[in-house]
Amino acid sequence: MKKIINGGYLENRKTYVISSVGIVSAIGAYLVGDQDLFTMLQTIFTLGGIYFLKQESSTKGKNNGTNSRKISK
* Calpha distance 33→38 (Å, rounded): 12
| Spans of all domains in the chain | 2-58
64 vs 55, which has greater pLDDT? Answer: 55
* Calpha distance 6→48 (Å, rounded): 25
What confidence tier does 52 reach under pLDDT thresholds 50, 70, 90? confident
What confidence tier does 12 reach under pLDDT thresholds 50, 70, 90? confident
Q: How far is CA 13 from CA 31, 41, 51, in A?
A: 27, 23, 10
What confidence tier does 26 reach under pLDDT thresholds 50, 70, 90? very high
Q: Is the pTM for the entire model greater than 0.85?
A: no
What confidence tier does 46 reach under pLDDT thresholds 50, 70, 90? very high
CB 17 within 8 A of CB 10: yes
Phi, psi of 33 (to 5 degrees): 110, 10
CB 15 within 8 A of CB 51: yes
